[in-house]
C-alpha cells in the first residue's frame, strides 16, 4: 500500500517538546519562535525531516503554523482543519487560532503587550509573509528576527534529508524540450532586464528540466535549487546521489550540476539583477544577495505561469490518465455497491480503491492520502483515516471519498459522496444539501466567461445554491493541478481570494462541498481545464470567451439527488455527463462493472 493508517499525531509528545523549545528560546533571549508547516522549498507536502510542525504540536494538516511563546502556543489553521486540529493537539498546551481571520500580528499583539523578539528560520519563510506580519506589528515593540532553527536543536532523532533518484520525463508527454523551455524563459528574463532567476520551487525545477523526483511522497518532485540565466543556461544544486548517467546526458551541456552546499556561496556572485519571487523564495536567499550587494528584481518565478498553461501534449496525456483512472474508480464503485456495506470500514474503502488503481499497472503513487470519511468523519474536510479513527459504515451514512492517482501521463483528483444503503436510507436534509452542492458543481462546469477573469470572479457560481439556503463551505472551490506533478499546483485557483487571471490550458479542480460538524459531509469534485470557447450565434465577435472542458468521467450518485431542486438545464447536464461517462469508460470495463456503469448512468427521468 502507498497509504498507511498509522496515526502520526502524538498529542502526548507535544508538551515536553514545547518545553524543550522554550528552554532554547530562553537561552537565545527570544520571546517566541515561529514553526511553519513549510520547508525551504515552500512545499505543501514535506519530507519527514521538515515536518517540524507535526513533530512539535501533533497537528498533521498540510497548511498552518505555530507561534510558540513562553506562556502560550498558538496553532494557526484555516477552515479546512478546524475539526482536525482539536483531535491532534494537547489543548492544555496549544491553542487553535482561526486563521486568516486572526492574523499572526494581531495574536502576537494580544499575547505580548510589552513587546519581544520573535525568532524565525529564514529558510522557511518568504519575504511576503514576514512583511505582512511586520506591517501589522509596526510600532508595537514586537520584532521578528531571523535565527537558526530552534526546533532542529531539540529534535534528537530528526530524519536525514531525502536523496530520492531523479528520472527523465518524456518529451512526447511534456510537449516541449527542456532546451526550448529554458531558451524561452531566458529570453523573457532578458526582456524584463533580469540577468538570472533563482528557482526554489521543486515543481518549477522539475517542469523546466523535464525531470521528476522521488524526495516527497505523493509528489514526484526533487528537492533542489536552481539558477536560470538569461542565456538559457541553468545551474542545478542537487545531491550527487540523485543523479544518474542517463540524467546527465538528458540535461546536457547547458545545465551545470553542483552540490547543495554550493548554493548559498553561489548566490553571492550571481550576475545582477537577480529575479526573486517574494511569494516563494526563502528570506535566506534575499539575505545572501543583499549582503553581497546584488540588485534584486522582485517578480514571479518565471516557470510558474508557463507550467500552469499546459501544452496540447500535456492535456492529451492527462486526458488519457483521467480515463484510465475513471475506469479504476468505476470498478471500485461497482464493487462497493455489491457489498454488504455495513460490514465495511473507512480503511476497507481506501485499500480497495488503491488496489483498483494498482490493477491498471500504471499507478506510480497516489496523489494524496485518500480521504475516506463516513458519517461525522466526512465533516472533517481533510480527514485522514487511521487505525485509531477507522469507522465502520452505518446505514444512512454519507461517505466522502476524495482520492487521486499519480500516473506518468497525468495527476488525478476526484471526490464522490456515496450513500451507505439505498436512497430510502438517506435523510431528506442530506439529499437537499447534496443537490445544492451538485448544482454548484454543474454551474461551474457550464460556465462561459470573458477572457481576463480571475478565479475569484467565478467562485460564487459554485456557492450560490448553498448561499440561497444559508449554507457555505470553508475551502476554495478549486485548486490548480499538475501533469505528473503536484496535485495542488499554483498559481491558479477558483477561490474568493484568487487574483490570478485564468488562461487556456490551466487545469483546476471543481469541488464545492457542505459539512455539518458531528453529522455528515458532502463534496463532489471533477477536474476541468480552461479552453477557448466556441463562438455562439448572437455573441459579440470581438469578445473572446473561455469555458471549461471536463477531464473526470465517473458517475455522480443518482440516489442522493433531490430532483425537485434541479431545473431542466441541470437535469440535461447530468444526463449528458452520464452519457459521456458511458461512452468513454464502458470500453474499459468488463462484466459486472460494465453492467453497473450502465445502471449508474441511466437518465434521471426515464
Q: How far is residue 394's CA from residue 65's CA, in Å, rounded to a whole number?
A: 36
What number of other Cβ atoms are within 10 A of residue 194's Cβ? 24
Number of H helices, E strands in the chain: 19, 28
CA max distance for the chain: 74
CB of 357 closer than 8 Å to CB of 4: no
Helix (H, G, I), strand (E, B) or coil at 513: strand
384 and 297 together in one domain = no
549 and 438 together in one domain = yes
Output the pTM of the full model: 0.94
Residue 177, beta-bridge partner list: none
At residue 82, the pLDDT reads: 83
Q: Which domain CATH number covers 74? A: 3.40.350.10
Residue ranges of the alpha helices (H) in 94-200? Answer: 104-111, 127-136, 150-154, 171-174, 178-191
pLDDT tens digits for 569-591?
Answer: 999 999 999 999 999 999 999 99
The answer to the question of residue 395 being in a domain is yes
Residue 235, beta-bridge partner list: 227, 256
Q: How far is residue 90's CA from residue 359's CA, in Å, rounded to a whole number?
A: 41
290 and 330 together in one domain = no
Q: How far is CA 218 from CA 317, 362, 404, 405, 525, in A?
A: 19, 15, 10, 9, 19
327 and 289 together in one domain = no
At residue 601, the pLDDT reads: 98
The answer to the question of residue 280 being in a domain is yes
253 and 363 together in one domain = no
End-to-end CA distance of the chain: 41
What stretch of H or E contains 523?
strand 520-523
Check residue 169 and report its DSSP letter.
P
Residues 439, 443, 445, 450: what is their CA dihedral angle, to the nearest 10 degrees?
-170
276 and 389 together in one domain = no
The answer to the question of residue 3 being in a domain is no
Q: Which domain CATH number covers 519? A: 3.90.230.10
The answer to the question of residue 525 being in a domain is yes
Q: Which of 440, 433, 426 is nearest to 515 (CA)?
A: 433
Quote the strand ranges of 430-482, DSSP E: 448-450, 478-480
Residue 499 is placed in which grid cell? Answer: 487574483
203 and 254 together in one domain = yes
Last residue within a domain, chosen from 307, 332, 358? 307
Q: Which of 461, 545, 472 is nearest to 510 (CA)?
A: 461
Residue ranges of the alpha helices (H) in 296-375? Answer: 304-308, 312-337, 346-358
Give the structural domain span for 93. 11-154
Residue 555 is placed in which grid cell? Answer: 458517475
The answer to the question of residue 56 being in a domain is yes
The total number of structural domains that make up the chain: 3
Last residue within a domain, chosen from 287, 307, 327? 307
Last residue within a domain, chosen from 154, 175, 209? 154
194 and 332 together in one domain = no
The answer to the question of residue 286 being in a domain is yes
Residue ranges in the chain modelled with pLDDT below 70: 606
CB of 276 closer than 8 Å to CB of 202: no
259 and 379 together in one domain = no
The answer to the question of residue 5 being in a domain is no
314 and 298 together in one domain = no
231 and 302 together in one domain = yes
292 and 218 together in one domain = yes
At residue 551, the pLDDT reads: 98
The answer to the question of residue 605 being in a domain is no
Q: Which of 82, 601, 169 is nearest to 407 (CA)?
A: 169
Amino acid at each position: 500500500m502507498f497509504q498507511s493508517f498509522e496515526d502520526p499525531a502524538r498529542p502526548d509528545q507535544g508538551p515536553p517538546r514545547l518545553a524543550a523549545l522554550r528552554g532554547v528560546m530562553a537561552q537565545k533571549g527570544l520571546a517566541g519562535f515561529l514553526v511553519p508547516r513549510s520547508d525551504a522549498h515552500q512545499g505543501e507536502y514535506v519530507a519527514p525531516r521538515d515536518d517540524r510542525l507535526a513533530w512539535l504540536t501533533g497537528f498533521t494538516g498540510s497548511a498552518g503554523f505555530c507561534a510558540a511563546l513562553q506562556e502560550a502556543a498558538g496553532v494557526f489553521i484555516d477552515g479546512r482543519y478546524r475539526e482536525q486540529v482539536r483531535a491532534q493537539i494537547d489543548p492544555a498546551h496549544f491553542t487553535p487560532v482561526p486563521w486568516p481571520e486572526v492574523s499572526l500580528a494581531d495574536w502576537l499583539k494580544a499575547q505580548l503587550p510589552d513587546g519581544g523578539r520573535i525568532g524565525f528560520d529564514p529558510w522557511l519563510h518568504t519575504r511576503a509573509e514576514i512583511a505582512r506580519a511586520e506591517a501589522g506589528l509596526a510600532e508595537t515593540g514586537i520584532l521578528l528576527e531571523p535565527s537558526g532553527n530552534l526546533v532542529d536543536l531539540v529534535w534528537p532523532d530528526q530524519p536525514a534529508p531525502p536523496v530520492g533518484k531523479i528520472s527523465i520525463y518524456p518529451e512526447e508527454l511534456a510537449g516541449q524540450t527542456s532546451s526550448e523551455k529554458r531558451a524561452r524563459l531566458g529570453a523573457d528574463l532578458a526582456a524584463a532586464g533580469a540577468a538570472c532567476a533563482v528557482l526554489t520551487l521543486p515543481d518549477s525545477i522539475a517542469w523546466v528540466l523535464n525531470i521528476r523526483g522521488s524526495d516527497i511522497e505523493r509528489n514526484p518532485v526533487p528537492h533542489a535549487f536552481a539558477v536560470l540565466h538569461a542565456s538559457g543556461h541553468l545551474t542545478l544544486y542537487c545531491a550527487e546521489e540523485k543523479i544518474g548517467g542517463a540524467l546527465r546526458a538528458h540535461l546536457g551541456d547547458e545545465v551545470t550540476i553542483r552540490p547543495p552546499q554550493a548554493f548559498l556561496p553561489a548566490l553571492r556572485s550571481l550576475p545582477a539583477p537577480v529575479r526573486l519571487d517574494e511569494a516563494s523564495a526563502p528570506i535566506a536567499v534575499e539575505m545572501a544577495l543583499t549582503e553581497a550587494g546584488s540588485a534584486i528584481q522582485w517578480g514571479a518565478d518565471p516557470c510558474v505561469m508557463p507550467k500552469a498553461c499546459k501544452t496540447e501534449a500535456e492535456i492529451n496525456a492527462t486526458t488519457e490518465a483521467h480515463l484510465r483512472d475513471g475506469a479504476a474508480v468505476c470498478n471500485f464503485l461497482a464493487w462497493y455497491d455489491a457489498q454488504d456495506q455495513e460490514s465495511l470500514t473507512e480503511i476497507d474503502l481506501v485499500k480497495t480503491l488503491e488496489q483498483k488503481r494498482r490493477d491498471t499497472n500504471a499507478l506510480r503513487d497516489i496523489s494524496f492520502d485518500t480521504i475516506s470519511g463516513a458519517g461525522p468523519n466526512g465533516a472533517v474536510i481533510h480527514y485522514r483515516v487511521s487505525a485509531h479513527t477507522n469507522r465502520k459504515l452505518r446505514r444512512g451514512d454519507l461517505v466522502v471519498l476524495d482520492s487521486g492517482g499519480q500516473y506518468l501521463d497525468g495527476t488525478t483528483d476526484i471526490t464522490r459522496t456515496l450513500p451507505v444503503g439505498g436512497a430510502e436510507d438517506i435523510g431528506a436534509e442530506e439529499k437537499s444539501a447534496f443537490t445544492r452542492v451538485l448544482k454548484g458543481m454543474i454551474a461551474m462546469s457550464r460556465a462561459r466567461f470573458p477572457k481576463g477573469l480571475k478565479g475569484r470572479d467565478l467562485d460564487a457560481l459554485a456557492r450560490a445554491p448553498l448561499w440561497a439556503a444559508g449554507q457555505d463551505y470553508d475551502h476554495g472551490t478549486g485548486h490548480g493541478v499538475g501533469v505528473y506533478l503536484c496535485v495542488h499546483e499554483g498559481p491558479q485557483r477558483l477561490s474568493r481570494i484568487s487574483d490570478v487571471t485564468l488562461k487556456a490550458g490551466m487545469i483546476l479542480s471543481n469541488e464545492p462541498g457542505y459539512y455539518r460538524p458531528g453529522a455528515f459531509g458532502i463534496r463532489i469534485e471533477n477536474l476541468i481545464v480552461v479552453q477557448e470557447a466556441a463562438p455562439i450565434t448572437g455573441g459579440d465577435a470581438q469578445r473572446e470567451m473561455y469555458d471549461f472542458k471536463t477531464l473526470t468521467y465517473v458517475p455522480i450518485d443518482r440516489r442522493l439527488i433531490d430532483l425537485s431542486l434541479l431545473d431542466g438545464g441541470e437535469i440535461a447536464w447530468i444526463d449528458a455527463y452520464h452519457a459521456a461517462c458511458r461512452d468513454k469508460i464502458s470500453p474499459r470495463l468488463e462484466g459486472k462493472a460494465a453492467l453497473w456503469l450502465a445502471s449508474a448512468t441511466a437518465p434521471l427521468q426515464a
